[in-house]
Amino acid sequence: MIPVTTFAGKTVAVFGLGGSGLATARALIAGGATVAAWDDGEQGRDAATKAGIPLVDLNVADWSTFAALVLAPGVPLTHPEPHWTVHKAIAAQIEIIGDIELFCRERNAHAPGAPFIAITGTNGKSTTTSLIAHILRNAGMDVQMGGNIGVPILALDPPALDRFHVIELSSFQIDLTPSLNPTVGVLLNITPDHIDRHGTVENYARVKANLIGSADYAVVGNNDTWSRRIGGEKLSTNGGLTWLSTGESITVGHVGVIAEQSCLLWQDVEGHQELVANLDGIGTLRGTHNAQNAAAAFASLSAIGLDDAVIAEHIRTYPGLPHRLEEIGRVGPILLINDSKATNADSTEKALQSFPQDVYWILGGKPKDGGIESLVPLFPHVAKAYLIGAATEEFAKTLEGHVPYARCGVLEIAVAKAVADATRDANLPSPRPLRGEGQGEGRQRVEGEGRQQSPVSDAARQPIILLSPACASYDQYKSFEHRGDAFRALVTALPGFTPRAKA
């Protein structure tokens, strides 16, 4: 835990009692503050009571007694409408901050200059964050990883000059962190996302820009207009910056890392390029998007002085993240991939790009704006699609005439259908049916087969069963993790299943 001493002797309102909210309340109390904690939901309040955290109904509290409001990042700050606690804090003229801000103040107060690498971007944050932490740990460093991934930041060990904090940041968290000043700030990319929470893509990009503008050194992707603009603004202030590029040279006069499909190239200010890391055969870093994530890790750690050869060595042992292009194992030649974290089309695009053919694609859930229209150019990669959840009819219309599909309703039926089809197309004997497969009592009927199956080659196929939903999970599951765990349980129970060999 990081005791928050910067509010010692003061009373702080804490709203939102999920994991980060509970950790925030504990840290404030440990640092000598008085906490007035509240949540709109009974579950959050019950969790606080069990943890011994004092509850104060902020609806009727005297806000003039509070020094600050610490808001959970999932609570609306500005859009679509500021939360009622935000209105009360503004009326009381107190600051509205988040748990990352409390960390930054503790770092500034007790360990200024402690190494702090902060990673953001629309996609790729979690992989890049975990890869940086993996490399540092394997290089013998004391590493604390958390924030928007895994452990809430205030539940980590305190900042110290010999301890690295590697922190994933969402736009919601950045928006609540006015004192943000990482050693290295990483911006991978920007595509329209969370517009409901920021109002416009311009506002969303502005929030991301705050991380880069405040960093001592920046690492920025140059493959989208918004990120290029933010990186250019950083350079105009004479800030240090390394560009990231996928497959294109960096403009002469700038330094950068170029992410090719199977390697990383360093380009110096004179335009000379040097091979610095081989990515060939790393199953946990498939695809150009993961090459960019590896490039971001390389650039960040090179900026703090870690030896290039050490970085390249430990990239090769990266075990990957659960639910993000996670190779679970195989049934014969059939590769089983859990990409449940792909909750939008942009993220699923990266998965489909990683497998150029013979993909048996399980998708669906609670759809997002735009659906899967942007994925049409990648439909030739797909042998057949298996639709689940609320998005079924919308996605079927998009697939019609392009990709054979089946309406499956639930994941269990989708897995069973995909395994049967992939097994047949790979010229393998069909495995025994999964338990519960078919139209048994309480099971949704499989219907609406799409157009005819693509022809099967006489040669043995190398099919991929890919769960990459392009949807939120909340229509059928508690979270994308819950959905991914369900997929893992189904495929590991298949006859002949062989788990992925550990790195």
CB atoms near residue 304 (< 10 Å): 14
Bond into 80 cis (ω within 30): yes
**Tens-place pLDDT, residues 246-268:** 988 898 889 999 998 789 999 99
Mean of pLDDT values over 313-323: 94
Predicted local confidence at residue 194, as pLDDT: 72
Predicted local confidence at residue 102, as pLDDT: 98
Query: Whole-prediction pTM value?
Result: 0.84
**Tens-place pLDDT, residues 353-382:** 999 999 999 999 999 889 999 999 999 999
Predicted local confidence at residue 242, as pLDDT: 97
The domains of the chain are located at: 5-97, 110-315, 326-495
Phi/psi-derived region of residue 357, left when phi > 0, alpha when psi is between -120 and 50, beta in every other case: beta
**Tens-place pLDDT, residues 87-138:** 999 999 999 999 999 999 999 999 999 999 999 998 889 999 999 999 999 9
In CATH, the number for domain 5-97 is: 3.40.50.720
Predicted local confidence at residue 461, as pLDDT: 62
Q: Tell me, what amino acid is at 404?
A: P
Distance (Å, rounded) from C-alpha 402 to C-alpha 397? 10
The answer to whether the Cα torsion of 68, 72, 74, 75 is positive or negative is negative
Fold that domain 326-495 belongs to in CATH: Protein-Tyrosine Phosphatase; Chain A (3.90.190)
Fold that domain 110-315 belongs to in CATH: UDP-N-acetylmuramoyl-L-alanine:D-glutamate ligase (3.40.1190)
- Cα 73 from chain centre: 15
Q: Has residue 453 got a pLDDT over 50?
A: no
* pLDDT confidence tier of residue 427, bands split at 50, 70 and 90: confident
Predicted local confidence at residue 429, as pLDDT: 53
How are beta strands 405-409 and 497-499 bridged, if at all?
unpaired
What letter would DSSP give residue 203? H
The mean pLDDT of the chain is 91
Predicted local confidence at residue 382, as pLDDT: 98
Q: Has residue 445 got a pLDDT over 50?
A: no
* pLDDT confidence tier of residue 342, bands split at 50, 70 and 90: very high
Q: Has residue 437 got a pLDDT over 80?
A: no
**Cβ-proximal residues to 237 (8 Å cutoff; 6+ apart), any chain:** 213
Q: What's the helix, strand, coil split of the chain in %, to 5?
A: 35, 20, 45
* CB of 14 closer than 8 Å to CB of 35: yes
Q: Has residue 439 got a pLDDT over 80?
A: no
Predicted local confidence at residue 473, as pLDDT: 95
Predicted local confidence at residue 431, as pLDDT: 52
**Tens-place pLDDT, residues 148-204:** 998 999 999 999 999 999 999 999 999 999 999 999 999 999 987 677 777 788 889
Predicted local confidence at residue 132, as pLDDT: 98
Range of lowest pLDDT (63-72, 280-289, 412-421, 479-488): 280-289
**262-298: b (≥16 Cβ within 10 Å) or e:** ebbbbbeeeeeeeebbebeebebbbbbbbbbbbbbbb
Domains 5-97 and 110-315 share a fold: no
Mean of pLDDT values over 330-336: 95
CA-wise closest residue to 186 among 242, 241, 120, 243: 120
Predicted local confidence at residue 426, as pLDDT: 84
Predicted local confidence at residue 428, as pLDDT: 56
Distance (Å, rounded) from C-alpha 268 to C-alpha 373? 39
- Cα 365 from chain centre: 18
Q: Has residue 28 got a pLDDT over 70?
A: yes
Q: Dump the DSSP string for 258-284.
A: EE-SSEEEEE-TTS-EEEEEE-TT-GG
The helix-helix angle for 480-492 and 411-425 (nearest 10°) equals: 50
Q: Has residue 289 got a pLDDT over 60?
A: yes
